[in-house]
Amino acid sequence: MNPAELSTALLAIVTPLAEARREGSAAGLTAADLPLERPKNRDHGDWSSNAALKLAKAVGANPRELAAEIASGLAQTPGVASVEVAGPGFINIRLDAAAAGALARTIVEAGAAFGTNESQRGNAINVEFVSANPTGPLHIGHTRWAALGDSIARLLLASGATVAREFYINDAGVQMERFGHSVLASVKGEPTPEGGYAGVYIDDLARRVLESRPDLLDLDPDEQVAVARDLAYGFQLGELQASLAKFHVAFDVWFSERTLHAPGSDGEPSLVDEAVDRLRAQGHVFDDEGAVWVRTTDFGDDKDRVIRRSNGEYTYFAADAAYYLNKGDRGFAHKIYLLGADHHGYVHRLKALAGAAGDDPEKDIEVLIGQLVSINGARLSKRAGNIIEMDDLREWLGTDALRYSLARYPADSPLTLDPELLRKRTNDNPVFYVQYAHARTHNVARNAVAAGVDRSEFAPELLDHETESALLGALQEFPRIVAFAAEVREPHRVARYLEELAGLYHRWYDNCRVIPLGDEPVGSVHRTRLWLNDATGQVLRNGLDLLGVDAPERM
């Protein structure tokens, strides 16, 4: 019996009890309104419900008396071993071994689908993260946003949402001109221009540009800059994409900022031009001293924002507005922005923009600010010289250790990682601990085959050891953990769950054998335990995949 089935049974008992006390009090009540929780103390049973406490006032009942009536009905439910009322009206439920153990077969048969849920079904969500300037390598901050953003997207997809991972390419503006001049200076053997980009990577780009255009220096000076800029931009963007792919991050959309400013076909206005008109139509645009403003203070911003200066030039806010509107035009009612620690000022600005566009700032947009991350002993990039590069970190610590560790903490918490710990192959290293548990499930399965133990029989009532009850209880929690982590955008909840599950599995492994000892014949209990072993491996694998981390079969 899984939590959904138990909640349905609870609803079937609660509804007539509530109606008998007060007509109409159960109107619209669903199983989702009667959530179950795992008691922290396993002596209190497998599941706990506060249904009586929630409903008592509405039905005009004493909570504990109502709980006793509900408990009486639940005790007659097949698969329920016992029910007790605790405190002011909590209902503690213990399942019989067969009902609890049946989950092992459910998980194995569901495979990679176990843990997926429908909690986000119907939501079309755009998740924008990393969005680095294509003028240099990805650094340690981008590494954290990549791990978090991709894991959030995976959780949302597992929960039924339609999701697009999006990278906003900042390929317009003065930084691109500086980039072009920097590359061209390297081609010519000249010093880096003031305010330009320096490093070995610029020299590498210059070499590739010259290989692609041997005639570069024969061009008009302005054309030299444009050609150097655009060729180097393409090469560097390819480097960013390759770095992310090696980090197990794939984007569905690479959106160029340039497209916002480009005129439409047949002389139609650009997306930025259209954005001004669309915001004006919403009634939140005004003109003052030749400039065009958006009254973002109507939506909590600290000041109104200029969208077009008096000289006719658009501000960065104009591009933000056009981009936000474009996401909605592409069918994404909900937008999530994952920004760096230095972007706090964008929170009110983007929410005010959503309001000015006619959306609900509290519903249609989320701005998540990731805090700084540091790694003890990390060295500045040899290529870039002034940053800690993603590629260097990945090669040093490994993709799995890095992704898991970055996803293991909330985005809004500053983070310092210990490289010595992350490289250890001991239980002190959280990612090793979880991956080792998964590898152990495969080792048990391989040894079981050699010993003649298979899954030809399943007797869940035999899974009655206390470590089996604890392990099954944790396995049953996985779909709820996934749904909640998706709802609150917190992948670290999955990581912490996996560590708890790994610990419970190791304790079970120490107490319950899948392979008979000595001359003991293979029995029903061994075959049934193999189901539980394989179910645990499947959940560990599914959870690691949500974090973009490999699940090795051997370690």
Can you say how many angstroms the Cα of residue 456 is from the centroid of all Cα atoms in its chain? Answer: 37
- CATH number of the domain where residue 355 is located: 3.40.50.620
Tens-place pLDDT, residues 67-84: 999 999 999 999 999 999
State which of 246, 263, 282 marks the end of a domain: 246
**Are residues 366 and 235 located together in one domain of the fold?**
no
Strands (E), 72-161: 80-86, 90-95, 124-128
Retrieve residue 427's tokens: 């239980």
**Predicted pLDDT of residue 46:** 86
Residues 157 and 229 in one domain: no
Do 343 and 259 fall within a single domain?
A: yes
Closest C-alpha among 367, 366, 370 to residue 415:
370
Total domains in the chain come to 4
Does residue 392 form part of some domain? Answer: no
pLDDT number for residue 304: 95
CB neighbours of residue 19 within 10 Å:
15
Q: Pick from 202, 260, 258: which is nearest to 231 by CA? A: 202
Let me know if residue 296 belongs to a domain.
Answer: yes
Contact 542, 112 (CB under 8 A): yes
Do 449 and 407 contact (CB within 8 A), yes or no? no
Answer yes or no: do 307 and 161 share one domain: yes
Collapse the DSSP code of 9 into the 3-class scheme (helix H, G, I; strand E, B; otherwise coil) and give the result: helix
Q: In what helix (H) or strand (E) does residue 324 lie, and over which residues does it extend?
A: helix 316-329
Rounded Cα distance between 453 and 163, Å, is: 42
- Taking the C-alpha atoms of residue 298 and residue 305, their distance in angstroms, rounded to an integer, is 11
Predicted model pTM: 0.91
| CA dist., res. 549 & res. 403, Å (int) | 7
307's tokens: 């969208």
Q: How many angstroms separate the CA atoms of 139 and 132, rounded?
A: 9
Which residues are CB-contacts of 194 (< 8 A; sequence separation ≥ 6)? none
- Looking at residue 70, which CATH number applies to its domain? 3.30.1360.70
If asked whether residues 29 and 67 sit together in one domain, one would say yes
- Reported as half-sphere exposure (CB side, CA atoms, 13 A), residue 517 has a value of 3
DSSP letter string, 93-105 = EEE-HHHHHHHHH
Give the separation between CA 299 and CA 296, rounded to whole angstroms. 6
Closest CA to 292 of 318, 274, 322, 266: 318
Distance CA 158, CA 530 (A): 27
| 3-class DSSP state of 92 | strand
**Please, are residues 479 and 155 in contact by the beta-carbon 8 Å criterion?**
no
Indicate the length of the chain as a whole number.
555
**The Cα angle at residue 263 between residues 261 and 268, in degrees rounded to 5:** 135
For residue 118, the one-letter residue type is E
Domain presence at residue 399: no
The DSSP result for 275-288, as a single string, is HHHHHHHTT-EEEE
Report the distance separating Cα 375 and Cα 70, nearest Å: 53
The closest of 383, 381, 392, 386 to 204, measured between CA atoms, is 383
Q: Is 295 exposed, middle or buried (0-12, 13-18, 19+ CB in 10 A)?
A: middle
Residues 311 and 265 reside in one and the same domain: yes
Indicate if 255 and 241 belong to the same structural domain.
Answer: no
HEC string of 164-220?
EEEEEECCCCHHHHHHHHHHHHHHHCCCCCCCCCCCHHHHHHHHHHHHHCCCHHHCC
Q: What is the pLDDT of residue 23?
A: 82
HEC-encoded secondary structure of 10-27: HHHHHHHHHHHHCCCCCC
Q: Residue 119: inside a domain, yes or no? A: no
Task: Name residues of the chain where pLDDT drops below 50.
Answer: none
Last residue of a domain, one of 309, 343, 373: 373
The number of CA neighbours under 13 Å toward the Cβ of 395 is 8
Residue type, 43: D
- Cβ neighbours around 41 below 10 Å, total: 8
Q: In whole angstroms, what is the distance from residue 16 CA to residue 7 CA?
A: 15
Task: Kindly state whether residues 222 and 304 are assigned to the same domain.
Answer: no
Q: Classify residue 448: in a domain, yes or no.
A: yes
For residue 506, what are the CA distances in angstroms to 467, 479, 533?
10, 21, 11
CATH number of the domain at 447, please.
Answer: 1.10.730.10
Is residue 305 located within the same domain as residue 362? yes
Contact, 179 vs 205, CB < 8 A?
Answer: no
Which of 331, 348, 373 is at the close of a domain?
373
CA-to-CA distance for 108 and 537, rounded, in angstroms?
9
- Check residue 389 and report its DSSP letter: B
Residues 70 and 140 in one domain: no
Same domain, residue pair 288 and 151: yes
Q: Are residues 190 and 151 in the same domain?
A: no
Q: What residues contact residue 32 under an 8 Å CB cut-off, 6+ apart?
A: 7
Give the whole-angstrom CA distance, residue 555 versus residue 550: 12
Amino acid identity of residue 217, one-letter, is L
Whether the Cβ atoms of residue 93 and residue 80 lie closer than 8 Å to each other = yes
Report if residue 416 sits inside a domain: no
Residue 273 lies in a domain: yes
| Domain-embedded: residue 88 | yes
Q: Which domain holds residue 218?
A: 174-246
